[in-house]
Structure 1
Amino acid sequence: MRRSKYDPRRPVASSERKTTSAMIASIAGDDVPTIAAPFGNALTKLAAERDDIVGMTADLSKYTDLHVFAKAYPARFYQMGMAEQVLMSAAAGMAREGFTPFVTTYAVFASRRAYDFICLAIAEEMLNVKIVCALPGLTTGYGPSHQATEDIAIFRGMPNLMIVDPADAIEIEQAVPQIAVHQGPVYMRLLRGKVPRVLDEYGYKFELGKAKMIVDGQDFLFVSSGLMTMRVLEATKELAKEGVSCGVLHVPTVKPLDTETIVRECTRLGRPVIVAENHSVIGGLGEAVATTLMREGANQNIFRQIALPDEFLDAGALPTLHDQYGLSTKAICGSIRSWLK
């Protein structure tokens, strides 16, 4: 039976408690190198080369790293206050005047509160607005009001809107100039604050619209996006010590999907396919990949998902929540071991 939010919660033993803040600045472990504010710094660098770039936010510049841009280019920064619908409409107007607005807010506010304005003012008109949103999925412990667990599901059905889910700071830095060049609206999930630096270890280069194999393996194939690529890469290293060989196919562009690469890698070697995503099990990368394989007649392999449940999530410290909902490296390794039995 599903627990109601009004039901008593299981007491958490002191050994299980984490002291980390619910609004933790980084989802990296202590031993993972980080880069501070990669989005804000990449946008500032781009703005030095393009005078059409403007930054706009709904009272969240500090919490979306746009304050870096605002400090460097105050005349090109627009603080719209707590009015996300106005923010999106104003961005549409700026785009019509030839600017390329980078709009920031939290993912919950863009997807739930401003959906209709993004749809009709931006996407239908194919305007050049880049919507960059912090706190995607389970990257905050502040509970359902801030956890955008269904943002990709909401936006996947919107025509003309590209969806990008970067894995780390390196990819954010590389994605910013590429989404700026793309003609049309983009929704990019943002890891902000001190963001893990992971992909440079593998010589990875971001290409808009492309999925890429980061490591290869014989026993399982992870298909992942966002921070879950970092987690499955960590899990792959741990599982290799036990003789389990896993490949990792990173899919940073969730819409449109790189169907050619996904079908090729998911059918090669006959490996079980495991889609790992920081999103609800409903409507995200997992269902997009499953549908692609079905349509292409390539769904012969075992298919599983590592994703958030179809429910409103608890509040708390992120390490505890990631263990609880199966997104931590430890939890991923546990899932693989259980599937090997």
Structure 2
Amino acid sequence: MGEVMNESPRNAFGEQLVKEGEKRKDLVVLTADVADATRTKWFAEKFPERFINVGISEQNMIGMSAGLAAVGFQPLVAAFAMFLMRAWEQVRNTVCRAHVNVKIVGTHAGFSDAGDGSSHQVLEDVALMRTLPCMSVVVPADATEIRKALPEVLDYPTPVYMRIGRDYGPKVYSDNNYEFRVGEAVWLKDGYDFAIIGNGPLLWDALVAAEKLEKEGTSVAVINMHTVKPLDTKTLDKVAGKYSGIVTVEEHGVRGGLGSAVAEYLVQTSPVPMEILGARSFGKSARDVRHIIIANGLDFTSIINAVKRLERRVRR
């Protein structure tokens, strides 16, 4: 994989949102006084009549979006993922209980807002959103996948929460020649000993780890489980039947995220040894995102060590 080739996730989102606005005349975008930071300002400049800035009022934003959906519009709300969580009650009651088709995009997710510290780094959002009965949850890997995911998310028949980062976006996909489907995992690399299942920007580290392990004689598959809900259980069935163990990795807490979702399914069907990698505390202020990833034991060296721990466990 070499050095990190970076492309801003929020820029990719903003650019694709404008393209979707050109095709979808019912698309209305709402934000909570962060149009510049979320890049929804580009949609506002092109389609001012279909853009609403509610001010610093995420709870009202969710309520307004539910009303717009109820009368036939396709609302998309975008704000910092951390501060969207203060509107979780409104998502539950006005979006999910009513089952209105609102799309929610949380930007600056995970560790991506490194400089602003733990108050702006949400590591619980996937857990909160996937508990809601009708909510789907999507975590794209990089800018390319964000561009692929957004039109599919808009077409999907349920409310969707999609989380993206700020500007840290290591390139996972080298081209656009693949189809994104909500609920369908993507095999990034095949292998025959162990499997790494991840999503978001840490998939770059997963691929680096797999390459290095291959040179040491351990063959590792890498799977992009970009949709945490609905989970691709068909892929998980294949993984459980083929590999000696699974490492999950995500830019999220170890409780309630992708690792928990995978474990919840497999423990009821085909239990396999697992290592769940994720944040175990709040984030912190740092000069860059890589610093926090390494400090939390989520970089490729840490993933390699997790695979080796798993290997020792299964070969005792």
TM-score by length of 2: 0.91
* CA distance in 2: counterparts of 1:246 and 1:177, whole angstroms: 31
The reply to whether residue 32 of structure 1 matches residue 2 of structure 2 is no
Number of residue pairs matched?
A: 309
The equivalent of 2:260 in structure 1 is 287
* CA distance in 1: counterparts of 2:2 and 2:187, whole angstroms: 24
* CA distance in 2: counterparts of 1:340 and 1:159, whole angstroms: 36
Letter in 1 for 2:241: T
Give the deviation of 1:176 after TM superposition: 0.8
The reply to whether residue 305 of structure 1 matches residue 279 of structure 2 is no
The equivalent of 1:275 in structure 2 is 248
Give the deviation of 1:180 after TM superposition: 0.9
The reply to whether residue 127 of structure 1 matches residue 97 of structure 2 is no
* CA distance in 2: counterparts of 1:294 and 1:223, whole angstroms: 16
Equivalent of 1:102, from 76, 88, 91? Answer: 76
The reply to whether residue 115 of structure 1 matches residue 83 of structure 2 is no
The equivalent of 1:197 in structure 2 is 171
Give the deviation of 1:31 after TM superposition: 4.2
Give the deviation of 1:278 after TM superposition: 1.0
Give the gaps of 5 or more residues in structure 1: 1-27
* CA distance in 2: counterparts of 1:65 and 1:284, whole angstroms: 26
The equivalent of 1:20 in structure 2 is none
CA contact (8 A) 2:6 2:170 kept: yes
CA contact (8 A) 1:106 1:133 kept: yes
Letter in 2 for 1:326: G
1:202–1:219 distance in 2 versus 1, CA, 3 Å: farther
* CA distance in 1: counterparts of 2:292 and 2:166, whole angstroms: 19
* CA distance in 2: counterparts of 1:146 and 1:194, whole angstroms: 15
More displaced 10-residue stretch of structure 1: 235-244 or 247-256: 235-244
Equivalent of 2:63, from 89, 97, 106? Answer: 89
Secondary structure at the residue paired with 2:24?
Answer: coil
Equivalent of 1:322, from 285, 293, 296? Answer: 293
The equivalent of 2:215 in structure 1 is 241
The equivalent of 2:181 in structure 1 is 207
1:287–1:134 distance in 2 versus 1, CA, 3 Å: same
1:61–1:100 distance in 2 versus 1, CA, 3 Å: same
1:165–1:174 distance in 2 versus 1, CA, 3 Å: same
* CA distance in 1: counterparts of 2:2 and 2:8, whole angstroms: 13
The equivalent of 2:200 in structure 1 is 226
Equivalent of 2:109, from 130, 133, 136? Answer: 136
Secondary structure at the residue paired with 2:174?
Answer: helix
Give the gaps of 5 or more residues in structure 2: none
Give the deviation of 1:293 after TM superposition: 0.6
CA contact (8 A) 2:275 2:310 kept: no
Letter in 2 for 1:253: T
* CA distance in 2: counterparts of 1:164 and 1:281, whole angstroms: 17
The equivalent of 2:39 in structure 1 is 65
- Spell out, residue by residue over 1:48-104, the C-alpha distance to the aligned partner (whole angstroms, 9 max, x if none): 111001111001112112122112212211111100001111111111121111101
* CA distance in 2: counterparts of 1:174 and 1:110, whole angstroms: 23
* CA distance in 2: counterparts of 1:57 and 1:325, whole angstroms: 31
1:304–1:79 distance in 2 versus 1, CA, 3 Å: same
Give the deviation of 1:33 after TM superposition: 4.5
Letter in 2 for 1:215: K
Give the deviation of 1:187 after TM superposition: 0.4
1:51–1:73 distance in 2 versus 1, CA, 3 Å: same
CA contact (8 A) 1:211 1:262 kept: no
1:168–1:240 distance in 2 versus 1, CA, 3 Å: same
Secondary structure at the residue paired with 2:278?
Answer: strand
Runs of 4+ more than 4 Å apart: 28-31, 337-341
More displaced 10-residue stretch of structure 1: 31-40 or 207-216: 31-40
TM-score by length of 1: 0.85
CA contact (8 A) 2:169 2:201 kept: no
1:150–1:168 distance in 2 versus 1, CA, 3 Å: same
More displaced 10-residue stretch of structure 1: 125-134 or 240-249: 240-249
Secondary structure at the residue paired with 1:199?
Answer: coil
* CA distance in 2: counterparts of 1:64 and 1:170, whole angstroms: 17
Give the deviation of 1:143 after TM superposition: 2.5
The reply to whether residue 187 of structure 1 matches residue 179 of structure 2 is no
What is the Cα-based RMSD across aligned positions, in Å? 2.0
